[in-house]
């Protein structure tokens, strides 16, 4: 989930407004080394602008994910970076590029299962003709590693 500034640039004029986002993602990856992993992710992300219902603007995302864990231990900090493409779900959102990066911490839950939480920055860009949209946001994410 995150909070962001929402920018629309139709025909050269810029409009700024505060928006909120909620996403659900899964990343399927593997460790190349004990500290570095690569994965392919898919997800859905919905945006709520002040004048719209939730998920009025939404996208399906396909992205690559890279993570570096500082230590090869059960509890450790990590850094991540994502880059991919967003596909429009409804007519209110344009296709475009999404990217993000951040830092987090992995907490062992026993065995190979862990809980991860992170803070980061994410941005969704889209363009169709003169119409451009940009959704930059700070993110708070939580998930499980198994």
The domains located in the chain, with CATH, are: 2-145 (2.40.160)
pLDDT value of residue 3: 44
Question: Of 2, 27, 13, 8, whose CA–CA distance to 92 is shortest?
Answer: 8
Return the biggest CA–CA distance within the chain.
55
The answer to whether 68 touches 107, Cβ cutoff 8 Å, is: no
| Residue ranges in the chain modelled with pLDDT below 70 | 1-19, 49-57, 90-94, 128-131
Q: Which residue has the tokens 């004029």?
A: 13
* pLDDT value, residue 130: 66
């Amino acid at each position: 989930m995150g909070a962001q500034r929402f920018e629309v640039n139709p025909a050269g004029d810029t409009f700024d407004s505060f928006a909120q986002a909620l996403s659900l993602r899964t990343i399927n990856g593997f460790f190349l080394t004990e500290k570095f992993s690569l994965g392919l992710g898919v997800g859905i992300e919905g945006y709520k602008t002040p004048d719209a219902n939730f998920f009025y603007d939404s996208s399906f995302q396909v992205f690559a994910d890279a993570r570096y864990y500082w230590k090869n231990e059960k509890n450790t900090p990590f850094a991540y970076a994502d880059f991919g493409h967003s596909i429009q779900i409804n007519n209110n959102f344009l296709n475009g590029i999404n990217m993000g990066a951040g830092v987090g911490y992995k907490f062992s839950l026993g065995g190979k299962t862990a809980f991860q939480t992170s803070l980061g920055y994410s941005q969704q860009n889209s363009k169709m003709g003169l119409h451009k949209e940009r959704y930059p946001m700070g993110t708070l994410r939580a998930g499980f590693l198994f």
